Amino acid sequence: MTLTRDMTPADLDAVSKLAEQLVLLHHAWDRTRFFTTPDVAAGYRRFFASQLGTEGVMLLTAEVDGVVAGYLYGTLESRDWAKLLDAHGAVHDVFVSADHRRRGVAQALMNEARARFEKQGARQVVLYSAASNVEGQTLFKQLGFRPTMVEMTLDLGK
State the CATH number of the domain containing residue 103. 3.40.630.30
Do the domain assignments include residue 151? no
Do the domain assignments include residue 150? no
> What does the alpha-carbon distance between residue 81 and residue 70 come to, in Å, rounded to a whole number?
32
> What does the alpha-carbon distance between residue 41 and residue 12 come to, in Å, rounded to a whole number?
9
Domain residue limits at 124: 2-142
The per-residue pLDDT for range 83-105, each reduced to its tens digit, is 999 999 999 999 999 999 999 99
Do the domain assignments include residue 36? yes
127 bridge partner residues = 91
Residues 4-8: what's their mean pLDDT?
97
Do the domain assignments include residue 155? no
Do the domain assignments include residue 149? no
Do the domain assignments include residue 110? yes
Q: Which amino acid is at 136?
A: G
125 bridge partner residues = 89
Comparing C-alpha atoms, which of 48, 39, 55 is closest to residue 12?
48
Write the Ramachandran bin of 157: left for phi over 0, alpha for psi from -120 to 50, otherwise beta: left
φ, ψ of residue 25 to 5 degrees: the values are -65, -50
Provide the pLDDT for residue 157. 83
| Mean of the per-residue pLDDT values of the chain | 96
Domains held by the chain: number: 1
Provide the pLDDT for residue 119. 96
